[in-house]
Amino acid sequence: MEGKRRVVITGMGTVNPVGNTVEETWKGIREGVCGIDFITGYDTSDRKVKVAGEVKNLVLEDHIDKRELRKMDRFVALAEIAAEEAVKDAGISFEGEEDEFGVIVSSGIGGLPTIESEHVKGMEKGFDRVSPYFIPSIISNMAPGRIAIRYGLKGMCNCVVTACAGGSNAVGDAFRHIRDGYATGMICGGTESSITPFAIGGFTSLQALSQSADPNRASIPFDKERNGFVMGEGAGILLLEELEHAKKRGAKIYGEIVGYGANCDAYHITAPSADGSGAAKCMQIALKDAGVEANQVDYINAHGTSTPMNDKCETLAIKAAFGEYAKELYVSSTKGNTGHLLGAAGAVESIIAVKALQDGFIPATINYQVPDENCDLNVVPNKGIEKDIEYAMSNSLGFGGHNASLLFKKYSE
């Protein structure tokens, strides 16, 4: 680690099925709130999947001008709203340092709602009549692009597209960019809004989604009765900053990011490697990157999607990475609260991991009823734990074999 700069989190923002701010979200996580309910965005009467994690009680027009909203897909709007909270939370002015700050925000799918609606328009009126804003509405990089434009940030602006690992990759890549001296700070995270007939239909055909009619028994990570993930939507944005810069301006510091692992299973387009070896190696890379021993980690916010394969393989991966110590680790999945936010998942879960360190609270895996012998770690069933912790890891695993692990540390001088 010699010669590498320390990187801290000085601002956070989120909209997700549990809350429309970090404060609301963390309160919901502490209280075990389930943000999953019946889909309201379209008629599901003839559809197999009827539940999702929708963002609730959010009026986009309260945050973004109506004229601008017509030029962007919902996933971009959610990212802008979360970024607005993170920047305000950080209390930062970029004036005079615009070249020193950049943006990395992931989206796994991009503007699918707009693709669907404009395709219908094209079929009805002719494809030369689709909106002139169609393309700049749907492309995944427009979330970081618009955030950069809004704040005048001229450093590296990038969009990581690694399916469900994207949010974590964005945070990790931003961390490295600052640590290695390429930037003073970065706005980073992920955003997704794909609760649409087309997306839900595609994942249903893939047999990836839960078809449970009970919202409280749909996203049930590590439970033996789990039968698929639940689609969620939202955004998570963090402002990362070089430590000395943050201290000089008197910023409040939520926590420190100290390690990042990223690799690929190189195994299958949707399934993780059966023995969990890729994810295990990824966690070990993050530990080595941080110079931290396995037994120093107190808590893992697992990918924990609630699919039969993922939770079993991730359990094997944690055992392989942490050995005997895996029995002592607290491992929970907050996807029971939020559902699976795809490219935004790792970013929202990074915020949760940082709050766990700051607040001394380990979130529960909610709605857990039936233990699974194949998922026999301490999954913190149903009730969170008040406990002072120093290191928290967050895992994200994506279609295509993408793995990302982030290691956060409770801040101390």
Any idea which residues carry the catalytic annotation?
Answer: 164, 303, 340
Query: What single-letter amino acid sits at 178?
Result: I
Parallel, antiparallel or unpaired: strands 330-332 and 299-301:
parallel
